[in-house]
Amino acid sequence: MRAISMGIYMMATELKCRGTEFFLHVLGIVGLVAFAGLRVGLTLGLCLWTSLT
């Protein structure tokens, strides 16, 4: 358990908040979440549309 917590701690300290790499990571995460939301919305819309017709 300690090795896992040390790994998480080391991962968190490696990425600086001021560099462009940090903002690229944030942008990538936001893009993936938005893409997942779009896919879920389209899937639900398709399911509702086919059940109405």
Put simply, whether the predicted model's pTM sits higher than 0.75 gets the answer: no
Per domain, the residue ranges of the chain are: 17-53
pLDDT tens digits, the chain, 53 residues: what are they?
Answer: 455 555 555 555 565 677 888 889 999 999 999 999 999 999 999 888 888 87
**Whole-number Å distance between alpha carbons of 50 and 45:** 9
Who contacts 22 (Cβ-Cβ below 8 Å, separation ≥6)? 15, 16
